[in-house]
């Protein structure tokens, strides 16, 4: 009887496991799709020539904007696999939304159909589009031009460039759900991500969301304007400092 019970539980577990797949199984592809995933260009500016000590990047042809992943490539693919292939809750809604994200980004019908194949390994082209979905990309200066560049997992600075506060919170919620192995919540939040055609933009000119300033090593580097403004030292920090509101500090010490 005990053996039969164990065998039945094993069969049930296998059924649940195999029925959990809503799509093909994703793998990282470091090569960007040949079409889509647009970037941009900007000119360096000279800090010393700015009256305020800080200059904004302006439209130009000198330097290419780099596509920065908010979730690192490998973590992003894990997020997708966990949300679409490791839970039955919110799974279909997540699948339908990822299809919208792929379509808006410019993926072909061949990629869409491959994505929908439950349980098979995605083909190379499908993995390219999934790894480089624009919603998870922010444009900014190259890593060597930033005063700090997160090495892996989650890029807080790239998240700051996301202009929509609702989407920012969705990414934060997904990050928390990843830490808690909460796959149902991951799927729920994936279902709510907006279908965008291009990466989140590096704002140029007088309303720039990146600024160039000296770092603590007296080198001219870029950092998000929100980081620069809240750091309060008139430099671009060389570490992943959190956005800090001095009003909160004064409240604590009062």
Go through 77-108 and write b for each residue having 16 or more CB atoms within 10 A of its CB, e for each that does not. bbbbbbbbbbbeebbeebbebbbebbebbbbe
| Contact assessment for residue 161 and residue 138, using Cβ atoms and an 8 Å cutoff | yes
**What does the mean pLDDT of the chain come to?**
85
Determine the pLDDT at residue 246: 45
Q: How many CA atoms lie within 13 A of 201 on its CB side?
A: 14
Determine the pLDDT at residue 17: 41
**Distance between CA atoms of residues 254 and 245, nearest Å:** 15
What is the β-pairing status of strands 137-140 and 41-43?
A: unpaired
Determine the pLDDT at residue 178: 97
Determine the pLDDT at residue 217: 93
Q: What is the pTM of this model?
A: 0.85
Segment 51-64 mean pLDDT: 75
Backbone phi, psi, residue 126, to 5°:
-60, -45
For 91-147, the DSSP string reads: HHHHHHHHHHHHHHHT--HHHHHHHTSTTSBPPHHHHHHHHT-GGGEEEES-GGGBS
Of the candidate ranges 189-193, 235-239, 248-252, the one whose mean pLDDT is the lowest: 248-252
- Residue pLDDT, tens place only, 105-134: 999 999 999 999 998 999 999 999 999 999
């Amino acid at each position: 009887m005990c053996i039969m019970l164990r065998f039945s539980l094993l069969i049930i577990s296998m059924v649940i496991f195999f029925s959990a797949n809503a799509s093909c199984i994703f793998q990282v592809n470091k090569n960007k799709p040949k079409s889509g995933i647009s970037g941009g260009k900007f000119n360096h500016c000279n800090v010393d020539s700015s009256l305020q000590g800080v200059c904004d990047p302006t439209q130009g042809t000198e330097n290419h904007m780099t596509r920065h992943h908010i979730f690192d490539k490998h973590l992003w693919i894990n997020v997708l696999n966990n949300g679409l292939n490791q839970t039955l809750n919110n799974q279909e809604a997540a699948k339908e939304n990822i299809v919208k994200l792929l379509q808006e980004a410019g993926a072909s019908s061949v990629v869409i159909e491959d994505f929908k194949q439950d349980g098979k390994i995605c083909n190379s082209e499908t993995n390219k589009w999934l790894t480089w979905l624009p919603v998870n990309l922010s444009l900014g200066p190259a890593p060597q031009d930033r005063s700090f560049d997160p090495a892996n997992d989650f890029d807080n600075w790239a998240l700051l460039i996301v202009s929509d506060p609702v989407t920012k919170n969705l990414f934060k919620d997904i990050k928390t759900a990843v830490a808690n192995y909460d796959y149902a919540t991951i799927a729920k939040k994936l279902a709510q991500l907006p279908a965008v055609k291009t990466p989140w933009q590096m704002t140029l000119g007088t309303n720039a969301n990146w600024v160039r300033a000296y770092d603590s090593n007296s080198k001219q580097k870029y950092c998000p304007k929100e980081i620069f403004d809240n750091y309060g030292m008139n430099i671009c920090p060389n570490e992943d400092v959190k956005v800090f509101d001095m009003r909160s500090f004064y409240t604590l010490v009062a």
